[in-house]
């Protein structure tokens, strides 16, 4: 059996949690920067929007900082400090909280999620169902910040991030 070097001082034939932990923060920061670079031309203040999606003290305390009911997501977006003149798309259109929520879903910062009666999670991405945010009608889905962004938003609490993740029905082992 060949041993693979997974971390600086360790050789192992299996990947362990510590190996993931060692790369998640850097990966997450890269993912957020790539998203900012890719969509800056569409929403110039995207960095301010994404960084302000970090869980606040109350959300961290109640462990609700990454999953939102639609009303809670819209309230969070309403509470984000706005740049002078508000968030504007490149077209000049001033956004409202529904526009921002739809934009975050479109760029896969947010995913739609629904818990089924057997407690499994169904996730939908924009490419799979772009109409879930159409005028933000209620299709029974909640919204969650994609796990890839969580370490960049809250790098001081990796354990909380691991504890907040729930596998989708098709991801469970």
Residues, the chain, total? 173
Long-range contacts of 111-114 (CB under 8 A, 24+ apart): 111/143, 111/144, 111/146, 112/139, 112/141, 112/142, 112/143, 113/67, 113/141, 113/142, 113/143, 113/144, 114/140, 114/141, 114/142
The mean per-residue pLDDT over the stretch 25-48 comes to: 92
Q: What is the CA radius of gyration of the chain?
A: 18
The pLDDT, as a whole number, for residue 19 is 72
Any domain includes 171: no
Any domain includes 152: yes
pTM: 0.75
Token pair listed for 160: 């909380």
Any domain includes 142: yes
Which residues contact residue 85 at a Cβ distance below 8 angstroms, ignoring those fewer than 6 apart? 94
Any domain includes 169: no
Summarised one tens digit per residue, pLDDT across range 67-100 is 999 999 999 999 999 998 899 999 999 999 999 9
Count the neighbouring beta carbons within 10 Å of the beta carbon of residue 136.
18
Any domain includes 172: no
Any domain includes 91: yes
Any domain includes 170: no
- Rounded to whole angstroms, the Cα distance separating 50 from 44 reads 12
- Counting the structural domains of the chain, the total is 1
Any domain includes 153: yes
Helix (H) or strand (E) holding 110: strand 110-115
The pLDDT, as a whole number, for residue 93 is 95
The lowest-confidence range among 26-40, 84-98, 120-134, 158-172 is 158-172
Residue 69: name the closest of 169, 144, 173 by CA: 144
Q: Which domain holds residue 9?
A: 4-164
Question: Which of 61-70, 91-100, 121-130, 142-151 tops mean pLDDT?
Answer: 91-100
């Amino acid at each position: 059996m060949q041993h693979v070097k997974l971390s600086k001082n360790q050789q192992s034939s299996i990947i362990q949690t510590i190996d993931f932990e060692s790369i998640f923060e850097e990966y997450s920061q890269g993912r957020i920067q790539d998203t900012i670079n890719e969509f800056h031309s569409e929403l110039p203040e995207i960095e301010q929007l994404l960084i302000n999606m970090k869980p606040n003290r109350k959300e961290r305390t109640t462990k609700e900082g990454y999953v939102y009911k639609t009303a809670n997501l819209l309230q969070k977006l309403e509470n984000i400090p706005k740049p002078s003149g508000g968030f504007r798309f490149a077209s000049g259109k001033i956004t409202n909280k529904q526009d921002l929520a739809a934009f975050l879903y479109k760029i896969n910062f947010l995913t739609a999620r629904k818990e089924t009666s057997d407690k499994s999670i169904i996730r939908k991405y924009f490419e799979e169902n772009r109409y879930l945010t159409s005028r933000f009608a209620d299709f029974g889905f909640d919204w969650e910040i994609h796990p890839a962004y969580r370490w960049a938003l809250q790098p001081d609490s990796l354990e909380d991030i691991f504890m907040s993740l729930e596998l989708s029905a098709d991801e469970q082992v």
